[in-house]
Structure 1
Amino acid sequence: MKNQNMKICISGIMLTIFVLVCFMQHEGVDAAREMQHRRGSRVMKETFYPAYGETIPSSLQYRKTSTIFNVLAFGAKGDGTTDDTKAFEAAWLAACKLEASTMVLPKGSVFLVKPISFAGPDCESNIVFQLDGKIIAPKRSGSWESGLLQWLEFTKLNGITIRGTGVIDGQGSGWWSESGTKPTAVRFYGSSDVTVTGITIQNSQQTHLKFDNCQSVQVFDITISSPGDSPNTDGIHLQNSQDVTIHSTKLACGDDCVSIQTGSSGVNIQNVDCGPGHGISIGSLGKDNTRVCVSNITVRDTKIHDTMTGVRIKTWQGGSGSVQGVTFSNIQVSEVETPIIIDQYYCDGGNCQNESSAVSVSDISYQNIRGTYTRNPIRFACSDSSPCDVNLDTIQLQPVHKNDDMGKPFCLNAYGELKTSTNPPIDCLMAVKPSKKQSQYSYDSCKD
């Protein structure tokens, strides 16, 4: 009997060992590597913080190799008055060392943060900045250095994501009445595979969200909000950036909803709600005789309302280079001053000299632009040396108030094709390119 019991005991132990071995095999090498990572770098354990209960919600489910860094665990108070900048720096420094790590700003907390840079290039890739709380900027006082150009900066990172349901508030009202340099609220520089989704950015000191020298950018399901009279508060600003998609986003600001600057190409904007503001703009370009190159831009399936312009291209006299391959399609406008505009005589300040050269504007297509305007339906003010090349198809624009003061379509040095009849009739567009001497600069210069 004793021997039989011993056999049963040994069998039970062997069965337990067998189950443990199977479990370890099932978990695989990833779990072992994660344990090694944690011991080697001495990172903090995953934090299951009270704001989310005992389990992490689906929005925070990551690979088993990821590690969560909650800023509260690094000393942040999240009370809206304590300076949490140092805690943010410490949390980022820890998260930066592990691929696919997550820096968490939990819901219910308000973090006061001074200007800060979340910087690479020594950081690992695919870091997530999970924003479910609120970040606020200090007001104009001595918290800011003179001439500072950005508040929250993400620089030289690969695979950086900002996501969540939280808010970034620049508290910019104290800046708007002042002259001089004002910072951008959120800036990405020299980064690739960038994603921004879910969050709200509001009341920026100047531009809300900027991408400079970035590749492969996705922006979707975000909200940008500031008063329509807040100066120079562009919604999204692009420069020297390629392969950019912006969709399913609401942009309300005091300047351009989207501003596309030199060096930008492969930009796709769709399903955007723009207004108030100045519309969606390419430019201004070519200031101080600079050479610019913008190409392959699409804006479609978009609503623009209560804005100064709808879809606009603006260049300074004296510039060179080109804007080419631009399509505006399925645009619904409502109470927009001038829905369609190309201005190659742009002059911000009203004291500009006449110049002989110009940025070339060619292969511009307008398709299915409909709605109401309050001043002029269309304005093409193009250069003598480099006339605009445009095509229009299904343009239906009605004045909000029908009276004699409402402007009519205006064309200067613009040629192209009317593929359908338009309302109002556009009889000022030339069918044949003018036989004038062209500028020594052309869009070919952008192929160098």
Structure 2
Amino acid sequence: MKSILIQAAWFCILLASFVTGSHAAIFDVKKFGAKADGKSDDSKAFLGAWGAACKAAGANTITADGKYMAGPIKFQGPCKGAITIEAHKMILTALPDPYAFKGHAWVTFSSVHGLTINGGTFDGNGATAWKLPDCGKKGNICRLPANLQFNVVTGLKIIGLTNKNSKQFHMTMGGCKDVTIQNYTVNTPGDAPNTDGVHIGESSKVSILGASIKTGDDCVSLGDGVQDVHVEKVTCGPGHGLAIGSLGKYPNEKPVLGVTVKNCTLTGTTNGARIKTWPGSPVGSASNMHFEDIIMNNVTNPILIDQQYCPWNQCKAGVPSKVKLSGIGFKNIKGTSSSKVAMTIHCSPAVPCQGVLMNDINLVYKGKDGPAVSSCTNVKPSITGKVVPTACSTHK
């Protein structure tokens, strides 16, 4: 009787598979010609494995164990089913020549629904790019690739991925939805220019849950059009902090709505919790943004709202920003500042900040010219609990 029941169960599984067309398969990049010697360009093998997995029905898996080198790779969807890339033992290194990359990214995923990346190390081999004359400095535009780019990807899970030495941004996202990033690691020198750990724009329902980011620019940066973004348990440093913006550089930017950053630790960074907009900007808005339970260790600008953000003087200096900031909370933020002005809230005279709440803040400056102070313009924050330094002690 038991054997009959087992046979019946297997028959039902096979029948369901036949009806739904779900035939999960495994595609090993080595079977598509990858040499895995860490020296040969294995781009075609990765694209071959992707093409086969993408065309096959069902939820399929691509495996890549070993050391590989590759030039530009574009993984294009839509695919017939979800795809998982198992890369726990993979080290993929980019070609060192910056001029071998004509696009904006080294590895790109586009128009995919249901993508999981488990593990893997992506090494952008960026040292040669960082040394290009004035690259990324003084407003110079460099056509350098991000390590990873996700365009219009939904149902994305990135788990245990290591991203390092990118020629420019380590990871960028645009038009993505339902994204989870867990146990994410970025390890790049602090003097590597424009190497944001992850930049997210025009995406919704994104969660970063656990990350260790060492880089030469923002650890996490959120651009226009982000909605319902949750960033938690990120350690940052070296780097430029956790940033919303910059906003207002371009016309027709979409609003920012709903960002929570909490349980993070920043060490030796130039900024901490930061919101930045360009002066002379078109009309825009960003609202419902909260920074909570954050530890600052020797951070230069622990709390910073800068609506006069103007790197390399590439802006309309003196013309107010028209990006309206509202519903901003700073709660339970503690630690040390490496500068006397531990709290700077410089809002726009054209659209003063609204609904700024400061709650339980203790930022200590130990310099000889201490104690710490705050500086504010065009804002009247609400204060609850103990706030050190006194919020907006130099209010204008």
Residue 373 of structure 2 contacts residue 393 of structure 2 at CA under 8 Å; is this kept in 1? no
Residue in structure 1 matching 2:10, options 27, 31, 44: 27
- From 201, 206, 215, the counterpart of 2:177: 215
Q: How does 1:417-432 map to 2 (within 5 A)?
A: 417-428=382-393
Candidates 86, 92, 96, aligned match of 1:139: 96
Structure 2 residue identity aligned to 1:150: A
Aligned partner of 1:84 in structure 2 is: 42
Corresponding residue for residue 93 of structure 1: 51
- Which structure shows the higher helix fraction? 1
Answer yes or no: is the 8 Å Cα contact 2:130–2:192 preserved in 1: yes
| Greater Rg by CA | 1
Q: Deviations over 1:93-124 (max 9, x none)?
A: 11112321000012xx1111111111112x12
The equivalent residue for 1:172 is: 126
Residue 394 of structure 1 corresponds to 360
Q: How does 1:95-174 map to 2 (within 5 A)?
A: 95-96=53-54, 97-106=56-65, 109-121=66-78, 123-132=79-88, 133-140=90-97, 143-145=100-102, 148-164=103-119, 166-174=120-128
Work out the CA distance in 1 between the residues paired with 2:95 and 2:14: 42
The runs of 5 or more residues in structure 2 that have no matched partner are 136-141
* d(CA) in 2 for partners of 1:84, 1:176: 24
How big is the shift at 1:32?
5.6
The one-character-per-residue Cα deviations of 1:214-253 (angstroms, maximum 9, x if unpaired) are: 0010001121111111000000110000000001111111
Q: Aligned pair 1:364/2:328, yes or no?
A: yes
Deviation at 1:403, TM superposition (A): 1.1
Residue deviations 1:410-440 (CA, integer Å, cap 9, x gap): 011111211123222224376xxx9xxxxxx
1:72 aligns to 2:30 (yes or no): yes
- 1:189 aligns with 151
Query: TM-score, normalised on structure 1?
Result: 0.81
Matches within 5 A, 1:324-403: 324-353=287-316, 354-375=318-339, 376-389=341-354, 390-399=356-365, 401-403=366-368
Aligned to 1:282: 244
Native 8 Å contact 2:101 2:144 kept in 1: no
Aligned to 1:228: 190
> Please, which runs of 5 or more residues in structure 1 have no aligned partner?
1-17, 39-63, 435-448
Distance 2:180 2:349 in 1: 38
> Given the superposition, is the C-alpha separation of residues 37 and 294 from structure 1 closer, same or farther in structure 2, using an over 3 Å criterion?
closer
Question: Over aligned residue pairs, what C-alpha RMSD do you find?
Answer: 2.2
| Counterpart residue number, 1:294 | 256
**What SS does the corresponding residue of 1:162 show, helix, strand or coil?**
strand
User: Do the aligned partners of residues 414 and 429 (structure 1) sit closer, same or farther apart at CA in structure 2, a change above 3 Å counting?
Assistant: farther
2:269 counterpart residue number? 307
- In the TM superposition, what is the alpha-carbon distance from 1:291 to its structure 2 partner? 3.7
Distance in 2, matches of 1:286 and 1:105, equals: 41
Partners in 1 of 2:43 and 2:14 — Cα distance? 33
- Structure in which a larger fraction of residues adopt strand: 2
Residues 7-65 of structure 1, C-alpha deviations (whole Å, 9 max, x = no match): xxxxxxxxxxx887654322134336668999xxxxxxxxxxxxxxxxxxxxxxxxx94
Whether the 8 Å CA contact 1:360–1:388 is kept in 2: the answer is yes
Equivalent of residue 247 in structure 1, options 209, 215, 235: 209
Shift of 1:391: 0.8
CA distance in 2, matches of 1:393, 1:141: 46
| Aligned-partner SS, 2:75 | strand
Alpha-carbon distance between aligned partners in 2 of 1:105 and 1:183, rounded to the nearest angstrom: 22
* Equivalenced residues, count: 382
Q: Which residue of 2 aligns with 1:410?
A: 375
